[in-house]
Amino acid sequence: MARQAEFEAAHRGDVDLSTIRFLSLQPELTSSNTRKHIMGVPLLKPRMTNEEFTEWEHLQEEKYEMYNGEVYQVYAMGGARREHNATAGNVYALLKTHLRQTPCRAYIADMKVHVKATGDHFYPDVVVSCEPEALKAEMQLTEPRVIVEVLSPSTAQMDRGEKFASYRQILSLREYALIDPHRKTIEIYRHQPNGDWLLAVNDAQRGLVLNSLEFAAGVDAVFEDV
């Protein structure tokens, strides 16, 4: 009864965003068993605007993403964490060095991307923006040029599927890279003038090649200490 009362209060808007306690849904109430497995169980919530979600999340101790109107906690990945973090750190360090004295900035893990067209909010492993807002961004970007996701068994399907579909709605995005630290493979998807996204097979064999940033790093550099 207490769970139901709090649920109803949340949806009436009777609970303040700074104090609301989100409740885990029962498995049968999730909208997608696939997303439940990959992202965790969505949290009950009143509908929030971008500003409301950003304000609420800023007050939380953990990170949250919002996909298709549902809020998910961003969980650590257990045993895969070391190789995942090492790979993301390598990519960030290489990009940061390359982008010095340019208008572009690289961010790692804690910079959120807001997809205006869908209302989604994600935390890419590495993101680069070359827009003026990137120089003063504190919590989120809306116009990334490059997004890099480091794959894990629990996130690979989402990163290739629903998340990539959402990212493709960002008009400024030119390249999307998926890096698998376990298999030591790299996939690079590039936006084409006609709106298509193509997999750059040959460049991916050379390493992380991002034409929109005039950047290239060999496979050994990307997977150093992994």
Residue 195 shares a structural domain with residue 119: yes
Residue 91 shares a structural domain with residue 186: yes
Residue 44 shares a structural domain with residue 132: no
Structural domain that includes position 115? 78-222
Residue 95 shares a structural domain with residue 202: yes
Residue 44 shares a structural domain with residue 93: no
The token pair that represents 164 in the structure block? 């990539």
pLDDT of 210 > 50? The answer is: yes
Residue 103 shares a structural domain with residue 27: no
Non-local (6+) Cβ contacts of 204 within 8 A are: 185, 186, 187, 188
Q: Name 113's bridge partners.
A: 122, 141
CB 89 within 8 A of CB 52: no
Residue 69 shares a structural domain with residue 90: no
Residue with tokens 């973090």: 85
Mean pLDDT of the chain: 80
Global pTM exceeds 0.75:
yes
Instruction: Give pLDDT tens digits for 151-192.
Output: 988 889 989 999 999 999 999 999 999 999 999 999 999 999
Task: State residue 65 phi and psi, 5-degree precision.
Answer: -115, 155
pLDDT over 70 for what percent of the chain? 77
Residue 98 shares a structural domain with residue 184: yes
Residue 177 shares a structural domain with residue 113: yes
Q: How many domains does the chain have?
A: 2
Show which of 14, 38, 73 is a domain's final residue: 73
Instruction: Give pLDDT tens digits for 43-89.
Output: 656 677 778 888 888 888 888 898 888 888 876 544 458 899 999 99
Here the CATH number for the domain that contains residue 140 is 3.90.1570.10
Residue 186 shares a structural domain with residue 84: yes
Distance separating alpha carbons of residues 43 and 41, to the nearest angstrom: 7
